[in-house]
Amino acid sequence: MFSKILRINVVTLLLVFLASAVLAQEKVEFTAEEPVLITSAGQSADVLMIKILADKAGVSYRFDKNAQTALVDSVKSIIIVSGGSSKGLGAASIDKEEELQRVQDIVVKAKKAKVPVIGVHVGGKSRRGDLSDYFNKPVAMNADHLIVVKEGDDDGFFSSVAEENKILIQLPEKINDIQPILKTIYGKSDD
């Protein structure tokens, strides 16, 4: 009798364990709607790579490296590509404080309008450091979803921000791996 009860308890525990393991492996998919505004935080050329990948993924977008808050009203989601470039800031005739304020204004308006913000970092180690992280951290902290090329998170910077702020994060190996992620987010098929 005792061994029968023990077997039932062991089987029950195994079923509970297996069920929890299956649930833990379930992926939570992030989705967003088009059109998307693609803009920069830090004026690096990395934003152009995301524009190209959005084209290849068939995503409808408005592209403006220097987007202002008025554009938030014309889109259903926003991709902010973070990474500072002193050359890019100079070419845009903007200092880092003005650039950060521009991005923060967009995020505030997006949150009020319930427009999801996707933070993207593709620059790897070369877009980390004081100037880039000046933009990376606030973008990551305020995003609804993060896509970070794995090399840019070698030190766990983005992963820890995502964990602390309960933000979904994807860490593709290479920049080109972002194209299928965009297809999934925007409901594009692989035909």
pLDDT tens for the chain, 191 residues: list them: 545 554 554 444 444 444 433 333 335 489 999 999 999 999 889 999 999 999 999 999 999 999 999 999 999 999 999 988 889 888 989 999 999 999 999 999 999 999 999 999 998 666 677 888 899 999 999 999 999 999 999 999 999 999 999 999 999 999 999 999 999 999 987 65
Domain count of the chain? 1
Nearest to 98 by CA among 42, 139, 142: 42
Give backbone dihedrals phi and psi of 187, rounded to 5 degrees, phi first: 65, 35
13 occurs within a structural domain? no
137 occurs within a structural domain? yes
Q: What is the CATH number of the domain that holds 44?
A: 3.40.50
CB 122 within 8 A of CB 152: yes
3 occurs within a structural domain? no
153 occurs within a structural domain? yes
- Strand ranges across the sheet with 36-41: 61-63, 36-41, 77-82, 117-121, 145-148, 168-170
4 occurs within a structural domain? no
Q: What is the pTM assigned to this prediction?
A: 0.83
89 occurs within a structural domain? yes
- CB atoms inside a 10 Å sphere around CB 164: 10
Per-residue pLDDT, 191: 56
128 occurs within a structural domain? yes
**Structural domain for 45, as ranges:** 36-185
Give backbone dihedrals phi and psi of 36, rounded to 5 degrees, phi first: -110, 145
30 occurs within a structural domain? no
